[in-house]
Amino acid sequence: MADLVGPEFWHDRPVLVTGATGLLGGWLVEALLSRGASVVCLVRDGVPASRLYREDIVRRIVTCQGDIADQAVLERVVGEHEVRTVFHLAAQTIVGIANRNPVSTFQTNIAGTWSLLEACRRSPLVSEIVIASSDKAYGEQMQLPYREDTPLQGRSPYDVSKSCADLIAQSYAATWATPVVITRCGNFYGGGDLNWNRLVPGTIRALLVGDRPLIRSDGTFVRDYLYVEDAAEAYIRAAEALAADRTCSGRAYNFSLGRPRTVLEMVSLVAAATGVELEPVILDEATNEIPAQYLDSTRARRELGWKPTVGLEQGLRRTVDWYRNHFKDVL
């Protein structure tokens, strides 16, 4: 379906990206700019160390200040910039923060989603919306890998927030024919992730400064890991598919590499990429975490023509190179 949209589709197209200071956001904005899109980003907090600012991507876009849960701000941004395509990435993504402060997570992840969708529903111009859900929306399941028809049954605060946002997006598509597709991905990794309590950037930083990496869990948890540039391409393909075929609206797509790994296996792969071998410290203090989660991305490969192009070892080498450059002034 996505092949029906030509390369001219993005040329000068007004596109709104929320969550642009996050890991995926910076890479997605860059990918859209490379296609000729006119990108507008809603930014709540300036993050000077993010790729958006550090690598001067911000100079090539329009930034609008505001909170994702402020519907009036969203309606102004969508209307005044004549937005056609929307990528909604803004979220509170850290499980530990959600456990400590669920209200802020619910406000951002759930209220932020309905506020954005309502602003888009009121716009006569918005024709494609891509909503970032997550593998966490499925909650804990007996059968793996997760497929798109697996029930959404999050239980812990973060997982519930993603289940709710996902269902709200489906509701808008079903009730008002709002043109929306939903992405469900595993764990992203790549240059630009500044959340050091995440496994990949935290391990890289520790090893590059000669510290033993910290593992919050017992090391046996299993997850999918998807390189961030492959993820950005997945989001773009989802939007193109919706533009080409409105029957996609309300549909969810899983995106994964298809090579689930335990935490300890990932730490070993990161160590190999850095060339530094230090025994990790296993804290075994993770709570509200699901032991094993990974995805079947057959639908995305079949219907969108998407497939990952960067293997885990190659992606980790690229990621380590980015952090070496990032830390070059202090290492």
Catalytic residues: 158
Q: Hey, which residues does 295 pair with through a beta bridge?
A: 146
CA angle 19, 22, 25 (to 5 degrees): 65
HEC profile of the chain: CHHHCCHHHHCCCEEEEECCCCHHHHHHHHHHHHCCCEEEEEECCCCCCCHHHHCCHHHHCEEEECCCCCHHHHHHHHHHCCCCEEEECCCCCCHHHHHHCHHHHHHHHHHHHHHHHHHHHCCCCCCEEEEECCHHHHCCCCCCCECCCCCCCCCCHHHHHHHHHHHHHHHHHHHHCCCEEEEEECEEECCCCCCCCCHHHHHHHHHHCCCCCEECCCCCCEECEEEHHHHHHHHHHHHHHHHHCHHHCCCEEEECCCCCEEHHHHHHHHHHHHCCCCCCEECCCCCCCCCECCECCHHHHHHHCCCCCCCHHHHHHHHHHHHHHHCCCCC
- The pair phi, psi for residue 172, each rounded to 5°, is -65, -40
Cα separation, 7 vs 67, in Å, equals 32
Q: What tokens does 187 get? A: 């764990």
* 179 preceded by a cis bond (ω within 30 of 0): no
Cα separation, 197 vs 215, in Å, equals 9
* Radius of gyration of the chain, Cα coordinates, nearest whole angstrom: 19
